[in-house]
Structure 1
Amino acid sequence: MIDSEGLREVIRSRRTSMFVDQTRDVPVSVVEELCELATWAPNHKKTWPWRFALFTGEGRSRLGETMAADMAHAEFGDDAKRTKTAGKYLRTPATLVVGCEPHPNDMLHRENRDAVAAAIQNLMLGATSIGLASFWSTPALTRPPAVLDLCGFHRDDRIVGIIYLGWADGIAPVPERPQVEVAHIDG
């Protein structure tokens, strides 16, 4: 049975949640540690494709306004969706944009995104282990030029996720899981 110092419990207790204490900041040093933990994700060809940009305080509003402007420029969504986007990064005290570097080789390009997704999982498990609630959101646009500039990312990078972080202040319900089926081939 797998159980290494509560790893099983951390994985099973991790919930997507924005039940957070809005008055309690998430220290930058904590997010930096979580990002370092993220970089231990599998990365087959050692391309190190992940990019991180942390938004706190008024920076979260700036992120929302910039994303809404990129959406308008791309003619994506209606005014109501853009207005919602402009304010949604204020939901938690810290908002982390996680990007991915592209690769000219199509297979490595896809593997880079997989590595970044695995990195996000590491980050979120680390967050759970220290009492942070987290929520992985898909952005309205994956290559919004002004947001990429704001994050300090390259123009060809793409955003894989926007991670909301805050100190847990409530319990998210445990979702049902389907029975796992494993095909076993022996011989």
Structure 2
Amino acid sequence: MTAAPAASPHAPANATLSLLKTRKSPKVLDMAGPGPTPDEVNEMLAIASRVPDHGKLAPWRFIVFEGEARERAGEAIAKVFLADNPDADAERVAIERSRLTHAPAVIAVVSKAGPHAKIPEWEQTLSGAAAATLLVVAAHALGYSATWLTQWFSYDARVRSALGLAEDERFIGFVHIGTPAHPPEDRPRPALADIVTRF
């Protein structure tokens, strides 16, 4: 009997490819529970940390907002918004207060990129963006939906300070994780002919 040929090490991992082809970003207003368990959050974060990282600097970190912590963060955001918009009506302030409460879990990806003798700050920032991407993919792999947002408060120094960032740290974004209330619609994707050239 002839032995079956060995599987090629380059054979496609169909489950992984299918997963990557189906990832979508739902609107956070359409998110609901259930959210990830503590063990699932830890698994997502462990996966998110497995990114290219020139120099092994780990120039990023994560902040997890769950339960009432999302509301406390929203209060900080609303406070800054009101300081700049004292005439804003209650409905508008409520929108700011609820920024992190739509999904059961929100994980901020924070860049710690800084000057280095050999590794450009830009590379460090890109490593943090890669961590955010893997976090989104890991959430999808575990059966949740995830949406990566920044919004105005990500860039406000007062909000950054209130949410625990050092002066030289920046938000790469907030990854909202939950279960969509209904299946998210896919959006048009760019044609490869429009985005690919060969040198």
**TM-score of the pair, normalised by structure 1:** 0.83
Is residue 153 from structure 1 mapped to residue 192 from structure 2 by the alignment? no
Could you tell me how far apart the structure 2 residues matched to 1:6 and 1:78 are?
52
1:6 alignment partner, SS class: helix
Is residue 45 from structure 1 mapped to residue 55 from structure 2 by the alignment? yes
How far off is 1:15 after superposition? Answer: 0.6
State the partner residue of 2:108.
Answer: 97
How far off is 1:2 after superposition? Answer: 7.2
How far off is 1:72 after superposition? Answer: 4.4
Could you tell me how far apart the structure 2 residues matched to 1:148 and 1:99 are?
10
- 1:1-187 correspondence runs (5 A): 3-17=12-26, 18=28, 19-22=30-33, 24-73=34-83, 75=84, 79=88, 82-105=93-116, 108-145=120-157, 147-149=159-161, 151-181=163-193, 182-185=196-199
Name the % identity. Answer: 23
Specify every segment of 5 or more residues in structure 1 that has no aligned partner in the other structure, as ranges: none
Aligned residue-pair number: 183
Could you tell me how far apart the structure 2 residues matched to 1:33 and 1:77 are?
42
**TM-score of the pair, normalised by structure 2:** 0.79
Q: Deviations for 1:100-156, whole angstroms, at most 9, x for unmatched residues?
A: 013125972222221111111111111111111111111313354554445443221
Could you tell me how far apart the structure 2 residues matched to 1:131 and 1:56 are?
18
Task: Work out whether residues 147 and 176 of structure 2, in 8 Å CA contact, stay in contact via their aligned partners in 1.
Answer: yes
Task: Work out whether residues 15 and 172 of structure 1, in 8 Å CA contact, stay in contact via their aligned partners in 2.
Answer: yes
CA RMSD of aligned residues (A): 2.7
Q: Deviations for 1:29-71, whole angstroms, at most 9, x for unmatched residues?
A: 2112111111111122322111111111111111111122234
State which structure, 1 or 2, has the greater radius of gyration over its C-alpha atoms.
2
